Structure 1
Amino acid sequence: MYIWCFATLTSCFAQKESISELYTQLDRAIEQSQHYTKLKESSIAQLKELIHQENNPKLLINTYRKIYSEYKSYQSDSAVAYIQKAIVLAQKEGLPAEVAGLKSQLALQYSTAGAFAEALEVLNHIDKKTLDESNRKDYFIAYYHVYGELGFSNIHVDTDLSQNFFSRQNAYRDTLFAILPHHSEDYLMRKEVMLTSQNKWDEALKVNDERLKMCKEGSHEYGIVAYYRYLIYRSLKNEEMKKYWLLKSAICDVKCAINDQLRSGCSPIF
């Protein structure tokens, strides 16, 4: 049965390279990692130059947000610093909806770094009256992430507490399912996670197929989706496909200078 599923569901994304070829690609990427880091630093430096040239507060907030986006999977402390700059400026300019959205992103960054108490502190102090179409998604995603991470981190410590956190995460997932476009990455990722947790691996692979089609191969986004594909094959105990997709993900991470992962679950280690 599993063999039939693999043949049917992975045909669109059949292995283009052998495992040994991917190891070679990863080794080569690691050898050139300083080059990729310099490219990242150059991109950030160009954005920082805009700070001194921008007089429009709203455009400056957007510049801070772009710098945060560059840093968020590269240097978490710097990501926090720049999203906080954006929050302070948005507060000064009297932009409550902007503040709520930025604080939600700050909470997500804290959660990604394992600072769960700080994440919840930020989220619990967001004025719900300021939530609108522009920021609701980020608000619910942040809660979804922090409760999922709390559930995972307590799974071997306190089973009841862990399940309580997962129940809260599921509630926020259902809220997101109700407001997100069904073909969006934010929706599909959470649908894939849900299907994987329900051991519906064939359906999860179909969703992952959709996500891969939306990504440019070699991009940061492709690396993330490849990692989720690895998680499915890890559950299926398919060693070859597990290694294949983890290597694909790792190569993307090195080339995109990714240091911090915005992914629920275990670290990507064989």
Structure 2
Amino acid sequence: MRHLIIIIITLMIQPIYVKGDNNQLYKQLDAALAQRAHYVELKEKNLNEIKQGAKYVTSNEDKLKLYEQLANEYKAYEYDSAMTYVNKGLILAQKSNNILFNKRFQLSQTRLLITRGFYAEAKEILQKIEPQEDSHDYQFLYYYTLYGLYNNWATFCENNEFSKNYNQQKVKYLKKAIELSPKKDAFYYYLMGELYYFSNHPNNNKTIQYYKKALSMEKANSRLHAMTAFALSEVYQKANNLELMEHYLLVAAISDVTSATKENVALQDIALFIYKHKTRSLKKAQEYINLSLEDAYTYNNRLRRIEISSKLQLITNAYTDDIKTTNRLLNIALLVIILLLLGVGISSLFIRKKNRLLKQKKDEISATSAKMEILNGQLHLINDELKDTNQKRERLVKVYIDLCYKNIERNSKLRTLAVRKIKANQSKELLSLLSSSTSTEKENKEFLTEFDKAFLSLYPTFVSELNQQLTESAHIQLKENGEMPPILRVCALLRLGITESSKIAGILSYSPQTVYNYRSILKNNAIDKEHFEENVLKLCMIIA
């Protein structure tokens, strides 16, 4: 009786434990994804060490072993490099008349072709290198490759009229591979799990036992660990145990990331799982599916890219719909806020006039106030943004007042000087002083400096947004001291709605021809030449 109670309690708390464990695994996955570059760096370091060792290899057989090792290391990391070393091995094996390695490299070539979906071509090669009196090791690799071919082919057919034959073939060759497999190692238990999975009901306890045995014997950052965890997720998917399915998908994805595996499926399946079951935000699902697509492009797997693109469209559409729904709710919330504020105002007037109804309305006002407290939190964010905008505008007003004051003071001093010189009959000296360009240049420079600061303060993203309208070779940058170059000042005045070249020339103290030349350069280098100046008017519509 006691054992029965313990079993019942265990079954009751297991879903809670697994769910909490999955939350922790999501954190581990995100942490691993944040370190993707580090794991790739470790992978590249390992590959470079193997390549460095090639300098000391002299015999053909040692070179063939080295090529095979590099091909295997690249197999799930980068298709093109893996195929490069396979081809090098084939050439050297043929040149040195090494029949065994020639067959082994053709097997490696076949496995790579299978990942790209070239099943007929892979089968044709396998028919040419069927084992005769070859070693057990070669025979094992041969039948395991055939199993992989028909397994992928059956999956590709998606239960059509050819699937039954392919499924029979894969089980047939899987059994042959197991007969030749080294016993009692992790890969053996993995293959036994595969055999029970495809031969019996997927939820068979033996299947799970074999997979878990293989999982316990492998390092967490190995390719086999990821494959076994992914296989377990499929077992639990068939058993409709979604939490354990999610658990082992996460374990598989973490193994893929930490082993720098680019030919992977787990991460995209997690994204699809989130999309279907809403266990996380759709934004997270989109992040995972985008990373999966990035891996597929890195590995150069055409089939995987097509597969992920279809899932990406589903998730992106759902994410877009989610954003639209959120925006609609925000608009409704804003409308409710306005209505509530109006309601509060009307209620206040009504309360003053109808004191005798105070008690009856008290509960209604309390409920309204509770709703307002929730919505006021959202208003604080909007108010903070408005305060920041107002502060920027106040600074610009101050700049404008300072410029006006300096101009008034300058004119007053000039008028006083002119009166004094005229009274002293120093008209020639006054004329010489007024004709000097030094003072004017200094004033113009001060004005342009203040203009640059004020404009860039109001539109801090103007330069980057403008460069998006221009071709890459024509991008404009600020000077080292933070000032705008002349051509950028012309754009700034265009943004402020000053479109007449004569006005722009007068403000900036340039010649009209210079302004015309700058406008021509900008238009010629614009991506949309016809609507360039209209597009400039639309830049920085929101003050950051």
Q: So what's the TM-score if we normalise by structure 1?
A: 0.85
Find the counterpart in structure 2 of residue 210 from structure 1. 213
Cα separation, 1, equivalents of 2:230 and 2:130 = 35
One-letter amino acid of the counterpart of residue 168, structure 1: Q
After superposition, the Cα gap between the structure-2 partners of 1:130 and 1:76, relative to the gap in structure 1 and judged at 3 Å, is farther
**Secondary structure, aligned partner of 2:173:** helix
Q: Distance in 2 between matches of 1:180 and 1:162?
A: 26
- Deviation string 1:169-206 (CA, Å, 9 cap, x unpaired) is 12212222332244244433232123223214211111
Partner residue, 1:33: 36
In structure 2, the CA distance between the partners of 1:236 and 1:40, relative to structure 1 (3 Å rule), is same
1:74 equivalent among 45, 63, 77:
77
Q: CA RMSD in A?
A: 2.7
Q: 1:150 to 1:67 in 2, by over 3 A?
A: same
* Structure 2 residue identity aligned to 1:191: M
The answer to whether structure 1 residue 195 and structure 2 residue 196 are counterparts is yes
SS at match of 1:268: helix
The alpha carbon displacement at 1:73 in A equals 0.7
Q: Which residue in 2 is equivalent to 1:136?
A: 139
Q: Structure 2 vs 1, CA of residues 53 and 228 (structure 1 numbering), >3 Å: closer, same or farther?
A: same
Q: d(CA) in 1 for partners of 2:19 and 2:185?
A: 27
Partner of 1:155: 158
| Residue in 2 that maps onto 1:166 | 167
Alignment partner of 1:240 is 2:243: yes
**Residue type of the partner of 2:215?**
L
In structure 1, C-alpha distance between the alignment counterparts of 2:112 and 2:238, rounded to whole Å: 27
Determine if the alignment matches structure 1 residue 23 to structure 2 residue 23.
Answer: no
Question: For 1:225, which of 224, 228, 231 is the aligned residue?
Answer: 228
Q: Structure 1: which amino acid aligns with 2:193?
A: E
Does the Cα contact within 8 Å between 1:54 and 1:60 map onto a contact in 2?
Answer: yes
Q: Secondary structure at the match of 1:134?
A: helix
Percent sequence identity over aligned pairs:
24
Count of residue pairs the alignment pairs up: 258
Tell me if structure 2 keeps the 8 A contact 1:111–1:119: yes
Is 1:101 paired with 2:104? yes
Could you list the runs of 5+ residues in structure 2 that have no partner in the other structure?
1-6, 274-544
Does the residue aligned with 1:145 lie in a helix, a strand or coil?
helix
Q: Please state how far the C-alpha of 1:102 moved relative to its aligned partner.
A: 2.2
Equivalent of 2:149, from 138, 146, 151? 146
Match of 1:180, as an amino acid?
S
Distance change (3 Å), C-alpha of 1:162 and 1:63: same
How much has 1:241 moved relative to structure 2?
1.1
Give CA-to-partner distance per residue, 1:107-141, whole Å, 9 cap, x none.
11211222212211221221533632231111111
Larger relative CO (CA 8 A, sep 6+): 1 or 2? 1
Is the 2:131–2:139 contact (alpha carbons within 8 Å) kept by the matching residues of 1?
no
What pairs up with 1:80-99 in 2 under 5 angstroms? 80-99=83-102
Larger CA Rg, structure 1 vs 2: 2
Paired with 1:130 and 1:178, the residues of 2 have a C-alpha distance of: 16
Query: What residue number does 2:178 align with?
Result: 177
Tell me which moved more, 16-25 or 134-143.
16-25
Q: Residue 260 of structure 1 corresponds to which residue in structure 2?
A: 263
- State the 1:17 CA deviation: 6.7
